[in-house]
Structure 1
């Protein structure tokens, strides 16, 4: 079953900026991937080529996700309505099915979930919120408060669980998985390692005990999964797509390594 989505930031940034995201659509479709994640931050023109991209993607039948580097909640805890409206307008022009943002400064008891609920009531695109690399947007407790409150208030929002971003916020991915699992509907796979004083994203390991395999095994087999790590050379894309699609579900009690 096809379930792998390819974000455009998986490819060489310079090449994507020079050639445009549209240049990679054919490659992604040929890899056997289920969908593509268009990245707002990788557009260079003031006028976004959304219509052209939409037509190119439509010809391939790829599922479309639109990722925008905006924070859902502003520093004062209020809804970031202007940027949210613009992002959803762009997603509509792209014919994307999902919009992905980060949490931002959600403040329990201050942030008004009714505002978000009313906005999403009028939208045809679904909202996904991802744990990012900031201390406030990648905080397990804050994310849990947000999703629990959204569920109680019947706000139609789901979580994108980024497996590598927990390294940047000094949170443990296993703790995050156990506390946030019920809200997750989209996985972002990346392998982040400590490289001297810096954190570096590398390709997923094919090791049978790799952490990503365990994480994938905690969810239905058809849950969408994005490959957000450097695809180099690009002709390995199909290999990675097949590796993740054919992952065998973990058996309870198996030993897990940290690769």
Structure 2
């Protein structure tokens, strides 16, 4: 299994001055294969070459989890979002990333655009660019009822069979969907995996690290592996005040 850590786990530290290059020795300390980087850049032109050099020196891989999306509320906004997604592909390539994870949308969106020729043509250009660079494009099920709606993904994948899924083990619950049911539908489309748990407190859901909540993260991970999946799994959850401790607890739980 290719298992990496995510910058999301160090959200507080990265927003307080820590640079993402510092995650590389932490991945090695945890015995993980690399890092999922995110848009926490302080000086992107300086950081990217430093990160790429350090990854090569340590024989580590990486993914890039961008904030880009493939849908918005109008045609103009959607085409602008897709242009940004195309730029995200180039940024991922500069990092040497194997995967570019992105979102369904950043706000309100119109899923009917999926069935238009202008949307399909624009997205196919992005897919072709990613393929030429050897990058997996994988859209994530977001942690809410709209961006995690399985029907939205069924419509998207019906139009774009080359697109893959970032399967987040926890986020399906925000769309009132069992993760196991989502895997029944989308297992052949999985191109990247986020491993997180969901904790239910006072009828509210919140993210947690694997083994602390109501999701069978280990069972889902094992089922994905058994399918023949050879891609990347990322530990992706809030680190709180003890990110490395939560990483090691997750690793112990996952076995």
Which bin holds the TM-score, normalised by the shorter protein? 0.7 to 0.9
Deviation, 1:157, is 1.8
Unaligned runs of 5+ in 1: 247-259
Deviation, 1:27, is 1.1
CA distance in 2 between partners of 1:145 and 1:191 (Å) = 27
SS of aligned partner of 1:138:
coil
Structural RMSD (CA): 2.6
Deviation, 1:198, is 4.1
CA distance in 2 between partners of 1:235 and 1:190 (Å) = 15
TM-score normalised per structure 1: 0.80
Tell me what 2:209 maps to.
203
CA distance in 1 between partners of 2:199 and 2:246 (Å) = 21
Unaligned runs of 5+ in 2: none
Which 4+ residue blocks in structure 1 deviate beyond 6 angstroms? none
Superposed, 1:149-168 pairs within 5 Å as 149-151=159-161, 156-168=162-174
- Is 1:147 paired with 2:143? no
- Is 1:215 paired with 2:213? no
Kept after mapping to 2: 8 A contact 1:206/1:243: no
Aligned pair count reads 237
CA distance in 2 between partners of 1:225 and 1:102 (Å) = 17
Q: State the Cα deviation string for residues 56-102 of structure 1 (Å, max 9, x = none).
A: 22221211101111211222364423211221221122121211101
Counterparts in 2 of 1:122 and 1:97: CA distance versus 1, 3 Å: same
CA distance in 2 between partners of 1:223 and 1:87 (Å) = 20
Q: Among residues 75, 98, 105, which one is paired with 2:73 in the alignment?
A: 75
Q: State the Cα deviation string for residues 181-223 of structure 1 (Å, max 9, x = none).
A: 221122211111222364322221189x961122123223544
SS of aligned partner of 1:85:
helix
CA distance in 2 between partners of 1:235 and 1:126 (Å) = 30
CA distance in 2 between partners of 1:7 and 1:194 (Å) = 23
Superposed, 1:25-40 pairs within 5 Å as 25-40=24-39
Tell me what 2:54 maps to.
56
Tell me what 1:178 maps to.
184
Kept after mapping to 2: 8 A contact 1:8/1:21: yes
CA distance in 1 between partners of 2:151 and 2:63 (Å) = 26
Tell me what 2:20 maps to.
21
- Is 1:97 paired with 2:98? yes
CA distance in 2 between partners of 1:65 and 1:118 (Å) = 21
Q: State the Cα deviation string for residues 26-69 of structure 1 (Å, max 9, x = none).
A: 011232212210011x2244756211221222221211101111
CA distance in 2 between partners of 1:46 and 1:238 (Å) = 29
Tell me what 2:233 maps to.
225
Counterparts in 2 of 1:238 and 1:195: CA distance versus 1, 3 Å: closer
Deviation, 1:243, is 4.2
Kept after mapping to 1: 8 A contact 2:197/2:215: no
Counterparts in 2 of 1:233 and 1:88: CA distance versus 1, 3 Å: closer
CA distance in 1 between partners of 2:125 and 2:69 (Å) = 18
Pick which of 93-102 and 196-205 moved more: 196-205
TM-score normalised per structure 2: 0.81
